[in-house]
Structure 1
Amino acid sequence: MAIYSLLFGHTDWPDDRPVRRPLHVPPLDDTARVTLRLPAGLKRRVEASARLEGITAETWVTGALARSVDPRLEAL
């Protein structure tokens, strides 16, 4: 844990990236195709983020969407 000095004190900052909550991935036979237009800069950042995690951009986007939806809607 790193300690950073601030104007009115200090704060601890974790050295590691936060662990993402587990991802519920639906079975492959229950998929749908989506076409999504993104700004070029955002697309590059998504691809770079996926590379950092060692996964495809498609898997990264699926995970980001799955973490973002309200869990109460899981049954839909």
Structure 2
Amino acid sequence: MKNSTLKFFLGVFLLSSFVFMFPLHAQYPAQYANGQRFKILVFHTKHAEGAHVQFAEQAVEFFKKLNYGEGFILH
């Protein structure tokens, strides 16, 4: 009895989530990601502790390497 009730509610949940989420997917065509996804504004100073400066420089280089194509803008 408990197993069939659980299966019923699970089925109702999955069906209702599909019914409500399907129209949201229909609004987003596959070409929505052609533009830039996001912008990054980076602030750092060279007058901080040495480890912090080194980490900031490594982070900037890391994000520059990630910035291939039109993924995001790094300022």
Larger Rg: 2
The structure whose residues are more often strand, as a share, is 1
Structure 2 length as normaliser, TM-score? 0.27
The structure whose residues are more often helix, as a share, is 2
Pick 1 or 2: higher relative contact order, CA cutoff 8 A, min separation 6. Answer: 2
Structure 1 length as normaliser, TM-score? 0.27
